[in-house]
Each structure stands twice: as structure tokens, then as C-alpha cells.
Amino acid sequence: MRFKSAHLLRAAAYAGLAFLHLPLLFIVVYAFNSDDGGYSFPLRGLTLRWFARAWEREDILQAISLSMGVAAMATLVAMVLGTMTAAALNRDRFFGKDGFTTLLILPIALPGIVTGLALLAAFKLMDVNPGFWTIAVGHATFCVVVVHNNVVARLRRLPARLVEASMDLGADTLTTLRYIILPQLGTALLAGGILAFALSVDELIVTTFTSGSEKTLPLWLLNQLSRPREVAVTNVVAMAVMLLTMPLILLAWRLTRDTDTSPGAQ
């Protein structure tokens, strides 16, 4: 009985995994579709033509460069603020600690429309024109928690006696920070930064409210769905977006795995 149900369970688990991946696989397949319009399946032929077309399109290159710029800026802010909050919240209890934690989670716990509309209302009130900086501010706000989570997890595992030993040997706080704490945080900080970058490149809902007429990569894709111009090129861009972020996610995962084996942890 138990033997049989285990097989059933394995089948269900692999079926679920296939369900999660097949649509992504088809995006890759469709990027090579030689048919320039329809979604008809099976494909009639394969071509690389659309890659060249995508590369020539000015609007696509602009969307890519805007997305990269915004993500870099948001990641930078998130890494600074996220490290600070992690260092603060890893310490002893203090008044308002729980409230502060909630504040960090709120931008991702509340639906994107709330965050988006709130930022838009504030920008309008201050007469700020939407554009690069308003997008970056929005993205940085919800990216902080990603960096924070990564760094705080590593700080919790950092053995207190490494710091104590450094102090005993005569190093001051800043020296300990530079030679003990920061090297230990390195990969966690990097992983947090990568995830924040990926999150920013993919974000759509908050961005629609804060972007004005600027188009990030996801906004460009959304626009293609209502007003398509060369459907086949859209498939290529969709695949490119996916293949761009996936190695980053894998790298972030590799960096945070096996962190228990950091020096002095035993």
C-alpha cells in the first residue's frame, strides 16, 4: 500500500514540475517560429530571423537600457539600506523592532497596485515628472527586503566568537568590520544584490504607475500584448528576458547554499 502510494506521489510531484516548466519551454520554441504572425501549433518551420530583427529595433534596445539602469540604481540603494537594516535588526531587542520589520515587508506584502498608486499619488502631489528616478525609487523600496533577508540570515550564523577574537587581538570596531564581518557577508550581499536586480528587471505592476511614458522591458512586453508590432519579435524578447534572469537566480542560489561551512562556524 505504502509502496504504491509513493509511486503515485512521485508521479504527481513530477507532473507538477512539468506544469511549471512547459510554458517556459514553449516560449523558447516560439522564438524560433518561422511563421511571422499566428500562434498555431505545431510550428511550420524554424528560423533565426527574428533575433536579427529584434536587435535592429530601437525601442527594444531603449527598453533594455532603461531596465538595466533602473535595476542597477535600485540594487545599489537596496544593498546599502538592506545591509544597514540587517545589521540593526540582528542586534538586541529595541523599541519598535517589530514595527520596523513590518515596514520592511509591507512593500511586498501589500499588492503592487497599492504601492504603485501610493507612489504615483505622492509624485503627483510633489509635481515630480515620472521617469527614470521615480521608477528607481519605487523599485529600491521593495528591493530592500530582499537584500535584508539574505544578509540577516548570514549575520545570524556568523559566530560571535570570531568578532570577540578579533577584538581580543586588539582590532577596533572598524577594523573588525572591514576584516571580519564584511568578508563573511560578501557572498550573502552579492546574492541579495543579484536577487534585487532580477526583481527590479521583472517588476511590472508598480512600474506601470511610476513610469510615465518611459518603457521598461516588462512594460514593453505588456504593450506588445495589446498593440503588437511584429509578434514574432515579441517571442524573441520574451525568451531573452527569461534567459537573462535565470543564470542570475541560479548564481544567487549557489552563493547562499552551503553557507554553514563558512570558516569558524563549527
Partner 1 sequence: MPETLAMPPLAATQGGLRRRLSNLLYQRRNLTLLLLLTPPLLWFGVVYVGSLLTLLVQSVFTFDDLAMSVTPELTSQNFQDLLVAANLDIVLRTLSMAMAVTLGTVVLGFPMAYYMAHYARGWEKGFFYVGVMLPMWASYIVKAYAWTVLLAQGGVVYWVLDHLGLRGVLQAVLNIPAIGGETLATSNLGRFLVFTYIWLPFMVLPIQAAIERVPGNLLLASADLGAKPWQTFRTVLWPLAFPGVVAGSIFTFSLTLGDYIIPQLVGPSGLYIGSMVYTLQGTIGNLPMAAAFTCVPIVLITLYLGVARRLGAFNAL
Among the listed ranges 2-10, 44-52, 53-61, 153-161, the one in contact with partner 1 (CB under 8 A) is: 2-10
Q: Which H or E run includes 243? A: helix 231-256
**31 in Cβ contact with 50 (< 8 Å):** yes
Q: Does 92 bind partner 1 (CB under 8 A)?
A: yes
Q: Does 31 bind partner 1 (CB under 8 A)?
A: no
Q: Does 52 bind partner 1 (CB under 8 A)?
A: no
Q: Does 27 bind partner 1 (CB under 8 A)?
A: yes
Nearest to 162 by CA among 185, 188, 137, 146: 185
CB of 145 to partner 1, least distance (A): 10
**171 in Cβ contact with 179 (< 8 Å):** yes
Q: Does 228 bind partner 1 (CB under 8 A)?
A: no
CB of 61 to partner 1, least distance (A): 18
Judged on CB neighbours under 10 Å (0-12, 13-18, 19+), 91 is exposed
Query: Using CA atoms, how far apart are residues 218 and 233, in angstroms rounded to an integer?
Result: 14
Task: Between 72 and 222, name the residue whose CB sits nearer to partner 1.
Answer: 222
Q: Is 218 helix (H, G, I), strand (E, B) or coil?
A: helix
Task: Between 72 and 89, name the residue whose CB sits nearer to partner 1.
Answer: 89
Q: Does 117 bind partner 1 (CB under 8 A)?
A: yes
| Interface with partner 1 in residues 140-179 (CB under 8 A) | 140-141, 144, 169-175, 179
